């Protein structure tokens, strides 16, 4: 009976326990689910998708790889807002830090009338004071503002040679901006004129180290042309410009297009210049070129506001009158037209025509031959020639003739005045025209000759020009051979050794004089390939000796570069104790092994100026030694 009464109670108790267990499991799952959803939502909204969250009842475990400590802490704080921090176990890891990339070093050098400014970021190992001093030397001791920042990173290969080239370029660039990086130098500058711009571009490209990218942006102001001149003609040999000036790009393009329509070939140029008498210069020039084409030949000349149209002899009169009238209507009001139709004159072949000729040799000697009107004219001609070419370079062989045509003296003097633009050539004056021919060293010579003749003789004067521009190469300097350079370096090193403080890469005071002398030689011998190698004795650890030898070689290289020597062919290499020159068993031998060598590299190796690089070939190389001042390594 007792058992029967207890069974229902036991069953009820078991059922209650089961219900409690089920309720507990359900409650646990509910808490886990809600906690997980709450934490996941917060982490997702905060951008922490990299986290892995596991919930075991009230216990939360966070894992995953955070990019950094700050991000890990932020994820932990976010989870703490959804669950108590005491319930959270942090098993998150932090990714290995990425190596910091060195900055790209650069220098902006701004040179203006008030001085020079240096702006940029340079390595802390660079001698900034030496750089400022070098800049000051190249700009005639003008004020230099140092706005450079430094950071403790090693520069990229080519940095020092780029800086040396950029600083040396300042000497030729009074107003400029030089932007320097290890691989590129960009130069913006203002030249005096177009010829000066071409000279600067040739100079800079010639001196740029091999492998260095050079970007040039050198502008030249427009020249002032007086008188403002254009001369277009169509003759038996086709159409050409003797002179062409334009006041704007639009006018230039219109003039060249009209000239090409009249038969001018490709390649003609028209100088953009200042000094035009009217903003409608291009309009007048186009009208004149079209008129010459309609005549079928002749000359159209503009000298400031004076315009002359000269038809060829034999041009039909009705055509000449029609074209002249149309041109006069087409010209803007400021321009004044003079139209000329020459008459065909038959000369008596038995009567010799007067002639004057001046010949200029490439050496600068001038011979004057032909007829002049009087002693005073002869004296004036001789004085003008002496003023332009030098009294010792003028040879006079003229004869007097009082029956010369009117204006003869003026034409002779104008021809001599025009010859000053030639390197060599001749001027010929006859009854009907002036002819100038020869070679010139600058492109605008023919236009300059045309301006002089138009100014002195009038826009309607008859003259022919055949002036050729010949490119003048830079004078060639006989530089010493690499072997001669190294012999001089050897002599400088023998006079006084390069010495260091014991166990240091710091020079002793006596070494500065030797480095100055070697730098002077290498500056003159730029382009030769030299390895500066450091060596030690065998005392001390091998790794320490290796580092010391490299540091000493670098110190010599940097000292030479600081003295404005291009580093294109210079390298520094430390060999430690691996290449003894004598036995390390004696004090004398160890002292001989502690040395700096300058070696002329004769192989085909492609060298850079980075420390530690360079060829290791020793055969057939000149070796110059410099020791330290003694002491242990």
Query: So what's the pLDDT on residue 608?
Result: 36
Q: Does 333 share its domain with 387?
A: no
Domain's final residue, options 25, 59, 94: 94
> Which H/E stretch holds residue 389?
helix 375-389
Q: Is 426 a domain residue?
A: yes
Could you tell me what percent of the chain has a pLDDT over 90?
26
442 HSE (CA, 13 A, CB side): 14
Q: Which of 477, 472, 476, 449 is nearest to 195 (CA)?
A: 472
Q: Does 235 share its domain with 211?
A: no
Q: Is 224 a domain residue?
A: no
CATH number at residue 59: 3.30.300
Q: How many domains does the chain have?
A: 5
Which tokens belong to 350? Answer: 């038995």
Q: Is 350 a domain residue?
A: no
Q: Mean of the per-residue pLDDT values for the chain? A: 82
* Confidence category of residue 287, pLDDT binned at 50, 70, 90: very high
Residues 557 and 611: beta-carbon distance below 8 Å:
yes
Strands ordered across the beta sheet of 623-627? 570-574, 530-535, 595-600, 623-627
Q: Is 274 a domain residue?
A: yes
* Confidence category of residue 99, pLDDT binned at 50, 70, 90: low
Residues 87 and 76: beta-carbon distance below 8 Å:
no
CATH number at residue 504: 3.30.1330.60
Residues 76 and 92: beta-carbon distance below 8 Å:
yes
> Which H/E stretch holds residue 501?
none
Query: So what's the pLDDT on residue 617?
Result: 31
Residue position matching structure tokens 């003048």? 472
Q: Does 538 share its domain with 497?
A: yes
Q: Does 436 share its domain with 570?
A: no
**What global pTM score does this model have?**
0.51
Q: Does 553 share its domain with 446?
A: no
Q: Is 632 a domain residue?
A: no
Residues 284 and 136: their CA atoms lie apart, in Å, by 52
* Confidence category of residue 628, pLDDT binned at 50, 70, 90: very low
Tell whether the model's pLDDT for residue 332 goes beyond 90.
Answer: yes
Give residue-wise pLDDT tens across range 375-388: 899 999 999 998 88
Q: Which of 528, 452, 459, 456 is nearest to 487 (CA)?
A: 528
Q: Does 215 share its domain with 233?
A: no
Q: Do the bridges between strand 394-400 and strand 366-372 make them parallel or antiparallel, or are there none, so unpaired?
A: parallel
Please list, in sequence order, all residues whose beta carbon lies within 8 angstroms of the beta carbon of residue 601, skipping any fewer than 6 positions away: 529, 530, 531, 607, 614, 615, 617, 621
Q: Which of 25-39, 302-316, 559-573 is the most confident on average?
A: 302-316
Q: Does 530 share its domain with 413?
A: no
Give residue-wise pLDDT tens across range 130-175: 888 889 888 888 899 988 888 888 888 889 889 989 998 888 888 8
Q: Does 371 share its domain with 460?
A: yes
Q: Does 463 share its domain with 486?
A: no
Residues 253 and 283: beta-carbon distance below 8 Å:
no
Tell whether the model's pLDDT for residue 625 goes beyond 60.
Answer: no
Residues 441 and 443: their CA atoms lie apart, in Å, by 7
Q: Does 212 share its domain with 318?
A: no
Full DSSP string of 51-91: -EEEEETTEEEEE-EESSHHHHHHHHHHHHTTS-GGGEEE-
Domain's final residue, options 438, 469, 500: 469
Structural domain of 272: 229-340
Q: Is 346 a domain residue?
A: no
Residues 632 and 580: their CA atoms lie apart, in Å, by 15
Domain's final residue, options 39, 72, 94: 94
Rg (CA), the chain: 43
Rounded mean pLDDT, 56-65: 78
Q: Does 487 share its domain with 623?
A: yes
Q: How far is CA 338 from CA 137, 290, 304, 460, in A?
A: 59, 16, 13, 7
* Confidence category of residue 537, pLDDT binned at 50, 70, 90: confident
CATH number at residue 423: 3.40.1520.20
3-state SS, one letter per residue, for 418-482: HHCCCCEEEEEECCCCEEEEEEECCCCHHHHHHHHHHHHHCCCCCEEEEEEECCCCCCCCCCCCH
b/e burial code for range 354-376 (CB count within 10 A of at least 16 → b): bebbbbbeeeeebbbebbbbeee
Rounded mean pLDDT, 335-359: 78
Which tokens belong to 54? Answer: 């596991």
Q: Is 474 a domain residue?
A: no
Q: Is 543 a domain residue?
A: yes
Q: Does 491 share its domain with 609?
A: yes
């Amino acid at each position: 009976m007792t058992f029967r009464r207890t069974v229902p109670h036991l069953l009820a108790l078991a059922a209650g326990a089961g219900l409690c267990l089920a309720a507990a499991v359900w409650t646990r799952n509910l808490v886990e689910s809600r906690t997980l959803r709450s934490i996941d939502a917060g982490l997702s909204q905060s951008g922490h998708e990299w986290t892995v969250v596991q919930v075991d009842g009230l216990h939360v475990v966070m894992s995953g790889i955070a990019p950094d400590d700050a991000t890990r802490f932020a994820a932990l704080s976010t989870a703490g807002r959804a669950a108590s921090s005491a319930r959270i176990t942090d098993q998150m890891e932090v990714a290995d830090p990425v190596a910091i990339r060195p900055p790209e070093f650069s220098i902006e050098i701004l040179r203006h009338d008030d001085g020079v400014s240096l702006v940029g970021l340079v390595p802390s190992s660079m001698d900034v004071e030496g750089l400022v001093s070098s800049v000051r030397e190249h700009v005639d001791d003008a004020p230099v503002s140092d706005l450079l920042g430094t950071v403790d990173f090693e520069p990229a290969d080519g940095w020092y040679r780029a800086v040396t080239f950029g600083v040396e370029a300042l000497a030729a660039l009074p107003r400029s901006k030089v932007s320097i990086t290890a691989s590129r130098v960009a130069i913006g500058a203002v030249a005096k004129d177009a010829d000066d711009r071409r000279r600067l571009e040739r100079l800079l490209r010639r001196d740029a180290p091999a492998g260095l990218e050079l970007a040039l942006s050198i502008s030249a102001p427009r020249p002032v042309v007086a008188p403002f001149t254009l001369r277009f003609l169509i003759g038996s040999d086709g159409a050409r410009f003797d002179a062409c000036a334009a006041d704007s790009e639009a006018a230039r393009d219109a003039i060249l297009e009209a000239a090409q329509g009249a038969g001018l070939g490709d390649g003609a140029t028209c100088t953009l210049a200042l000094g035009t008498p009217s903003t409608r210069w291009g309009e007048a020039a186009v009208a004149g070129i079209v008129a010459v084409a309609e005549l079928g030949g002749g000359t159209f000349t503009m000298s400031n506001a004076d315009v002359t149209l000269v038809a060829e002899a034999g041009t039909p009169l009705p055509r000449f009158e029609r074209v002249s009238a149309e041109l006069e209507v087409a010209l803007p009001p400021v321009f004044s037209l003079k139209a000329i139709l020459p008459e065909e004159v038959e000369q008596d072949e038995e009567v010799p025509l007067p002639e004057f000729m001046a010949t200029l040799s490439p050496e600068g000697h001038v011979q004057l031959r032909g007829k002049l009107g009087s002693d005073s004219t002869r004296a004036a001609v001789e004085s003008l020639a002496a003023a332009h070419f030098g009294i010792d370079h003028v040879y006079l062989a003229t004869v007097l003739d009082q029956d010369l045509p009117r204006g003869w003296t003026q034409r002779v003097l104008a021809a001599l005045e025009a010859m000053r633009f030639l390197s060599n050539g001749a001027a010929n004056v006859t009854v009907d025209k002036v002819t100038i021919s020869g070679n010139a060293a600058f492109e605008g010579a023919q236009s300059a000759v045309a301006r002089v003749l138009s100014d002195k003789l009038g826009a309607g004067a008859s003259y022919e020009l055949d002036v050729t521009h010949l490119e003048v190469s830079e004078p060639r300097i006989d530089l010493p051979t690499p072997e001669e350079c190294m012999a001089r370096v050897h002599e400088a090193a023998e006079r006084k050794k390069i010495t260091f403080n014991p166990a240091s890469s710091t020079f002793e005071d006596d070494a500065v004089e030797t480095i100055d002398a070697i730098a002077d030689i290498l500056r003159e011998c730029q382009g030769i390939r030299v390895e500066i190698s450091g060596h030690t004795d065998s005392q001390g650890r091998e790794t320490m000796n290796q580092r010391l030898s490299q540091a000493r070689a670098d110190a010599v290289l940097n000292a030479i570069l600081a003295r404005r020597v291009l580093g294109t062919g210079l390298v520094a290499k430390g060999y430690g104790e691996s290449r003894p020159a004598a036995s390390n068993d004696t004090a004398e031998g160890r002292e001989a092994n502690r040395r700096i060598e300058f070696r002329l590299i004769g192989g085909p190796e492609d060298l850079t100026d980075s420390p530690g690089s360079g060829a290791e070939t020793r055969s057939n190389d000149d070796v110059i030694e410099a020791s330290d001042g003694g002491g242990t390594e």
